[in-house]
Chain A
Amino acid sequence: MSSSFAIEVRNVFKSFKTVRAVRGVDLTILPGQFVALLGPNGAGKTTLVEMIEGIQKPDRGEIRILGMPWKGHQKELRQIIGLSLQETRYIEKLTAWETLRLFGSFFGLGIERVEEVLQLVGLEEKRKAFTINLSGGQRQRLALGIALINHPRILLLDEPTTGLDPNARREIWEILRDLRKSSDISMILTTHYMEEAQQLCEQIVIIDEGRILREGTLDQLLGEDPSLKNLDDLFTSLTGRWLHD
């Protein structure tokens, strides 16, 4: 069964002791597609994405990336996936350049690629700054740079702009938009911000309490009910709660 999907998630479940974090998710993503997972705190976004990343194992269900399940394909998949975790603190007293150099070496890549990535994420001027001294936005751009260092075909970003001001957020959006134009990379990003989902992704998946509530393009999602002005309204109408405060 060769696959035309970049990512396939079939009936996936995951629980932690008493918490049922992901309760039967089906999701397919086509090559070149950008998909947003939109949901409130505790919806199960991180758990779902980390299962796709092969960091966590589903209790039940199947996950394939470019047709390959994680079992038996660790090596290939690690080479083609780029990711950023919701929260990673890098080695404090290593510079941005050295951090990229270190992660580059994991893929057998050299300093040429480090330079390219620094430029790509706009951190050339901060190359000599220790990661501890980077601002929140710069740190997120470094995380994005690390995610992109291996020319990934699949990009998985967990809340890449949370905590950033609108400008810093827009800078990251620009980088991602350029990437989309210039490559056939597929991406899942998780977010609390409907604006981010609208700006970057054609496919939007609304997730809450471990289940997918709705998915589709922005027009499809809002078209259901003429009284809905935006995704926040939709979320509220679906759950009676607010997406974020």
Chain B
Amino acid sequence: MIDRIRNNQLGQLTLANILEKVREPGVLFWGIGFPILMAIGLGLAFTRKPEILRYVALIAADTGSYSIILKDDKLGNTTFRLEKMPWEEAMVQLKRGHVNVAVTAEDSGYRYHFDPLNPDAQLTYMKLSPVLNRISPSELQHQPAGSEGERPEYEEDLSATTGVEVDALTVTGTRYIDFLIPGMIAMGVMFSCLWGLGYGIIDTRSKKLLRRMIATPMKRSNYLVAMITVRFGMNVIEAALLFLFAWLAFGITIQGNIPALLVLFLAGNIAFSGIGIFLACHTSKTEIGNAFINVISMPMMVLSGIFFSYHNFPDWAIPIIKPLPLTMLADGIRSIFIEGAGFAQTAVLSLIMTVTGIVFFTVGLKLFKWH
């Protein structure tokens, strides 16, 4: 009896799968290290910094720089460093993204040059222009420019000058990182299934190992079941580690219903496992697998609101974006994480993803080329 279990096909296939994964350092890095690094990078980049430094080009023949500091105890201080440079140099710096606004000081006033479609440049312009309006161009031009590190020439306390009250929200769930982490969990499931399952199967086929294995009494279902279960287990671990990190580093919590989250996560895995099997059903060329995966994942990466809300896309695109599996999974996880949603809000998403997965799986299996 014990031998029956130890010599069991499914058990050995599962074990072989696990060993193959844990012995591949790249798998651990891309599955666990990389998402965490990305969360750190993006989390830090978009978390409010106490001091914001913005570089602005001031068109002039000589060199030097002025600093203008806007004090603001609610939103954080902003320092504008006006760097004197000739026009050509300013254009180069604009292209490089070092500055996003160039200013020319004329006797009649200031002239601003920037890309109006760039919200960051707009912000610089809007914050800087009221301050500059109080400094006459001739004053600015004839002041000897301080060298870097010197005391600023101008300082202005925004909290005192504006009559408008600003309340900085600190409620959890409104920060960028709160938006980002659920999206990254969803993205992790997608990539893991497409690469781990889809590419893994194609690779096995291209090595002729699949052909070799089915020339034994191995049950084909055992092979697929082992692949899918190991993949699911790894996805659970990856997601749990990413969440653990986000909880420790950024204090992220789950506001909604946890069983609903688990069901949703399972449904997302079913959807992407089905897609993974489907994309791997026929080809034995890993390059083609690679291309399939990019074609499937890249549009969703951009459209599905992983890094920024898809509401930035035009209205007509939204009905196309919403039914994408990655959108459904990311939206679902996000609603449970930050909006406190439960089964009532996510059951339909889970159901649609499950059905999607089963459809792809069934078709994939019909077309599946074992040798």
Residues in chain B near residue A9, CB distance under 8 A: none
Contact with A along B344-359 (1 / 0, CB 8 A): 0000000000000000
CB distance from A202 to the nearest CB of B (A): 26
Residues in chain B near residue A146, CB distance under 8 A: 212
Segment 49-82 of A: residues with Cβ below 8 Å from B: 53-56, 75, 78-79, 81
A54 B215 Cβ-Cβ under 8 A = yes
Beyond A88-B209, A102-B13, A105-B12, whether A93 also contacts B217 by CB under 8 A is no
Please measure, in the bound complex, the distance between the C-alpha atom of A182 and the C-alpha atom of B23, giving whole angstroms: 39
Q: Is B48 an interface residue (CB 8 A)?
A: no
Q: Is A210 an interface residue (CB 8 A)?
A: no
Please measure, in the bound complex, the distance between the C-alpha atom of A88 and the C-alpha atom of B371, giving whole angstroms: 12
Please measure, in the bound complex, the distance between the C-alpha atom of A31 and the C-alpha atom of B70, giving whole angstroms: 94
A88 B16 Cβ-Cβ under 8 A = no
Q: Is B139 an interface residue (CB 8 A)?
A: no
Residues in chain B near residue A56, CB distance under 8 A: 371
A93 B20 Cβ-Cβ under 8 A = yes
Beyond A75-B217, A78-B216, A83-B215, whether A104 also contacts B7 by CB under 8 A is yes
**Which of B11, B23, B217 gathers most chain A CB within 10 Å?**
B217
Please measure, in the bound complex, the distance between the C-alpha atom of A98 and the C-alpha atom of B16, giving whole angstroms: 8
Q: Is B207 an interface residue (CB 8 A)?
A: yes
Residues in chain B near residue A91, CB distance under 8 A: 16, 20, 209
Count A interface residues, CB 8 Å: 32
Which among B6, B19, B20, B217 is the interface contact of A106 at CB below 8 angstroms? B217
Beyond A79-B217, A102-B16, whether A87 also contacts B9 by CB under 8 A is no
Residues in chain A near residue B9, CB distance under 8 A: 105-106, 108
Q: Is B24 an interface residue (CB 8 A)?
A: yes
CB distance from A1 to the nearest CB of B (A): 26
CB distance from B226 to the nearest CB of A (A): 10
Nearest to A78 among chain B residues (CB) is B217
A105 B208 Cβ-Cβ under 8 A = no
Q: Is B3 an interface residue (CB 8 A)?
A: yes
A87 B12 Cβ-Cβ under 8 A = no
A105 B11 Cβ-Cβ under 8 A = yes
Residues in chain B near residue A90, CB distance under 8 A: 207, 209
Residues in chain A near residue B371, CB distance under 8 A: 55-56
A102 B207 Cβ-Cβ under 8 A = no
Residues in chain B near residue A106, CB distance under 8 A: 9, 213, 216-218
Contact with A along B183-221 (1 / 0, CB 8 A): 000000000000000000000000111011111111000
Please measure, in the bound complex, the distance between the C-alpha atom of A83 and the C-alpha atom of B215, giving whole angstroms: 8
Residues in chain A near residue B8, CB distance under 8 A: 105
Please measure, in the bound complex, the distance between the C-alpha atom of A150 and the C-alpha atom of B214, giving whole angstroms: 14
Residues in chain A near residue B23, CB distance under 8 A: 93, 130
Please measure, in the bound complex, the distance between the C-alpha atom of A56 and the C-alpha atom of B335, giving whole angstroms: 51
Residues in chain B near residue A45, CB distance under 8 A: none
Residues in chain B near residue A107, CB distance under 8 A: 216-217
Segment 102-133 of A: residues with Cβ below 8 Å from B: 102-110, 130
**Which of B208, B209, B212 gathers most chain A CB within 10 Å?**
B212
Which among A75, A83, A98, A109 is the interface contact of B7 at CB below 8 angstroms? A109
Residues in chain B near residue A92, CB distance under 8 A: 20
A88 B208 Cβ-Cβ under 8 A = yes
Please measure, in the bound complex, the distance between the C-alpha atom of A88 and the C-alpha atom of B207, giving whole angstroms: 6
CB distance from B18 to the nearest CB of A (A): 11
Nearest to B204 among chain A residues (CB) is A91
A110 B12 Cβ-Cβ under 8 A = no
Please measure, in the bound complex, the distance between the C-alpha atom of A224 and the C-alpha atom of B7, giving whole angstroms: 53
B24 A93 Cβ-Cβ under 8 A = yes
Q: Is A101 an interface residue (CB 8 A)?
A: yes
Beyond A85-B211, A88-B208, A105-B11, whether A94 also contacts B217 by CB under 8 A is no
Q: Is A89 an interface residue (CB 8 A)?
A: yes
Beyond A78-B216, A88-B212, whether A94 also contacts B7 by CB under 8 A is no
Beyond A94-B16, A110-B3, whether A81 also contacts B209 by CB under 8 A is no
Residues in chain A near residue B209, CB distance under 8 A: 88-91
Please measure, in the bound complex, the distance between the C-alpha atom of A108 and the C-alpha atom of B6, giving whole angstroms: 9
Please measure, in the bound complex, the distance between the C-alpha atom of A209 and the C-alpha atom of B251, giving whole angstroms: 71
Please measure, in the bound complex, the distance between the C-alpha atom of A105 and the C-alpha atom of B222, giving whole angstroms: 12
A103 B20 Cβ-Cβ under 8 A = no
Segment 54-78 of B: residues with Cβ below 8 Å from A: none
B7 A108 Cβ-Cβ under 8 A = yes
Please measure, in the bound complex, the distance between the C-alpha atom of A91 and the C-alpha atom of B211, giving whole angstroms: 13
Beyond A102-B13, A105-B12, whether A85 also contacts B208 by CB under 8 A is yes
**Which of B6, B207, B208, B215 gathers most chain A CB within 10 Å?**
B215
B20 A94 Cβ-Cβ under 8 A = yes
Segment 317-371 of B: residues with Cβ below 8 Å from A: 371
B7 A110 Cβ-Cβ under 8 A = yes
Q: Which 10 A-B pairs have the closest CB atoms?
A: A105-B12, A93-B23, A89-B207, A106-B216, A106-B218, A78-B217, A88-B212, A88-B208, A110-B7, A102-B16
Apart from A91-B20, A98-B16, A104-B7, 10 more pairs, CB < 8 Å:
A55-B214, A55-B371, A56-B371, A88-B207, A88-B208, A93-B24, A103-B213, A105-B9, A106-B213, A146-B212
Residues of B within 8 A of A (CB): 3-4, 6-9, 11-13, 16, 19-20, 23-24, 207-209, 211-218, 371
